[in-house]
Structure 1
Amino acid sequence: MTQPQGAHLVGSVNYDDAEKTMRTAAATLGGRLRRIPDGEVGKRFHWIMFQPDVIGQAEGIERVGDQPIPFPAGIDARPLRIAEGVDAAGIELPPLGYADAALASYAIFTRLRGEGAIAAGTRFQVSLPTPVGVVSSFFAGGDRAAIEPVYTAVMLRELDAILAAIPHEDLAIQWDVASEMGIIEAAPAFGRIMDVWWEGDPFPGLVERLAALVDAVPAEVEAGIHLCYGDVAEKHFFEPVDSANLVRFGNAVVAASARDLTWLHLPVPIERDDEAYYAPLAGLEYDGELYVGLVHREDGVEGAERRIAVAQKFVPRFGVATECGIGRAPAGTTEGILQTHAAVAAAW
């Protein structure tokens, strides 16, 4: 078995602060990483769960339910709705928090790079959720279609603020794509989304939306996609039969995008070391950086190497990653997960 080349950190890392995340990742993985995220620390620890507290501040947006639904980090998990009689097009959403977080973490990144803790040429990675992910998670019914263009416009303003403040040669943008996979798979939790959001097959619309997000990233900035089936207590919201829909969606977005995609990440469930799961990878029409998310905390190097051996039968060249972020991994396990990446992947 030839070692895969390179490693990719999906985004979230279970440390309390960005400096520890970046310093530890650089020290452990070194030349295997082409880009380093800040670990999605603070309110971003639970991915998009802080967004209702942000969006809910806007005039014309209401929380559903009279009592807050307590969530870790002081988050209120109640969903959202458009107030009665309000035209969604006139709603002014506040800044979403992603640009502010990116700029604060980039200052740490540049300091660490200046100290030599991060190698020259390494890029700063910013992971952003797709509007479909946020809108489908916190709005219901016809409100989804109404608020989607409003939220999309604000997310693109967040992206523009990041692009304006961080030198493009230092920057990498990743779009986190989870709800889309649930819709494509017709997973039970996502069935009604299709009924009220789109007429007919949702696949073309999902491709169009994601390709537009990729194309919103200038060519001199790296752009990547993380395809995902969620991470709730280290479990997917849906276990795919195989990688066929990941390959189908990835191929379609690559074909629809006007710019080159820098990297593509595909997840692998821990129990899948059978050829049937990986066989569709032979049909992947993409020659950029591919990262296969086959590193798992529970079985470490042995499990990763077992899955690598099967994956290489169908796609000879790839780097390694976990299936999702490791922000919710048990405390004290982060170092071991990073070390597994280092053990099974060669440097660039």
Structure 2
Amino acid sequence: MTQPQGALLVGSVNFDDAETTIRQAAGILGDRLKRIPDGECGPRFHWIMYQPDILGQAEGIERVGAERIPLRMLDARPVRVADGVDPATIEFPPLGYAAAAQESYAVFRRLRDEGAVPQGTRFQVSLPTPLAVVGAFFPEEQRAAIEPVYRAAMYRELDEILATIPHEDLAIQWDNAVEFQLIEQVPYRDKPAAQPWWGDDLWGGLTARSAEQAGRVPDDVEVGFHLCYGDVAEKHFIEPKDAANLVRFANMLVAASTRRIDWIHLPVPIERDDDAYFAPLDGLQIGDTELYLGLVHREDGAEGAQRRIDVALKHAPVFGVATECGIGRAPEGTTDGILRTHAAVAAAW
């Protein structure tokens, strides 16, 4: 193959509503996309940052800090289990993912019926891993106890999505970012991890969680994974030395999963068009799982993407293209250009 095949929209898109996202994605990328997300608009614009506002509504949960930390319409303060409260007794309210998916799917179906979305395209719902939310917003000493409580709440969201959206139309993507913060030993809120709340085996614990999350999705629904190094102000929390840890995680996940993994997405930093970054892809062992490389960047467009593609093709002869993370925080007015870059460098399926 001399050109990537297909494109993936990782999740967030910098439009104000689902209809604009779906129309523009389908109109510009068309048969290059197997799946279209709703763009994670509204309070979901900054990935999981809206979850503390929801979690803070639960009895037994407190916000940390007296002063609100504003992030557009959100309060970014973390949360904690109140003193004397057994985490197992906490009942989280609906997390918002199922309600958003149902609302956006109605738009997706209408646009497909109108012919604006190609038949056979699936509606993509992106969900954060439970570990990501717990690791980002709860104090370290509470994470082991609260993780199963939050995980159960997330699985209720997933089950509602599965019950209300036809399986032949649905694709679920699990977003893994905090996992790579742990793997790379990057301190969160300037504090290094002091205890292994993820279990005795970091790699085994993280990939087993992801394999379990894949297994919660029925075989007639597609499932994929976005592996991520963060996207705050369009910057990673650390620049990966190369793709080795991404490849290791992907291989372990596919080996551990009891069901087919339909796609895996790996990020590529903008400055990496060298063999050293892509060489670990020689050891990728994911069978017929679709591989997407996040090598599209708004700053250097199709020319920069093509430089990275030319090197990547030496190590991964079959892959599609994507951005390295969602583009929900991209500058206003740049989104169509980013979508057109995908179209310029990738062939149709």
Contact map agreement 2:171 2:221 (CA 8 A) in 1: yes
The 3-state SS of whatever aligns with 1:36 is strand
Task: Report 1:46-125 matches (<5 A).
Answer: 46-72=46-72, 74-125=73-124
SS at match of 2:134: helix
With the length of structure 2 as denominator, give the TM-score of the two structures: 0.98
How has the CA–CA distance of structure 1 residues 119 and 199 changed in structure 2, closer, same or farther, with 3 Å as cutoff?
Answer: closer
CA distance in 1, matches of 2:215, 2:332: 37
Q: 1:203 Cα deviation (Å)?
A: 1.2
CA contact (8 A) 1:7 1:291 kept: yes
Letter in 2 for 1:323: E
Corresponding residue of 1:5? 5
Residues 151-200 of structure 1: per-residue CA shift (max 9 Å, x gap): 00000000000000000000000000000011111123387336251454
Please state whether the residue corresponding to 2:103 is helix, strand or coil.
Answer: helix
Are 1:224 and 2:232 counterparts? Answer: no
Distance 2:135 2:16 in 1: 29
Note if contact 2:11-2:38 (Cα within 8 Å) is conserved in structure 1.
Answer: yes
Q: List alignment gaps of at least 5 residues for structure 1.
A: none
1:308 and 2:309 matched: yes
Cα separation, 1, equivalents of 2:269 and 2:330: 15
- Aligned pairs (5 A) from 1:1-348: 2-72=2-72, 74-189=73-188, 192-193=192-193, 195-198=195-198, 200-286=200-286, 287-348=288-349
Q: Counterparts of 2:118 and 2:196 in 1: how far apart (Å)?
A: 48
Shift of 1:345: 0.2
Q: What is the RMSD computed on CA atoms of the aligned residues?
A: 1.1
| Cα displacement (A) at 1:119 | 0.5
Q: Distance in 1 between matches of 2:167 and 2:23?
A: 22
In structure 2, do the counterparts of structure 1 residues 5 and 91 end up closer, same or farther at CA, with 3 Å as the change threshold?
A: same
* Number of residue equivalences: 347
In structure 1, how many angstroms separate the alpha carbons of the residues matched to 2:304 and 2:21?
25
| SS of aligned partner of 1:49 | helix
Instruction: Say if 1:176 and 1:227, in contact at 8 Å, map to a contact too.
Output: yes
Identity percentage of aligned residues: 69
Q: 1:194 to 1:299 in 2, by over 3 A?
A: farther
5+ unaligned residues in a row in structure 2: which ranges?
none
Q: TM-score, normalised by structure 1?
A: 0.98
Letter in 2 for 1:278: F
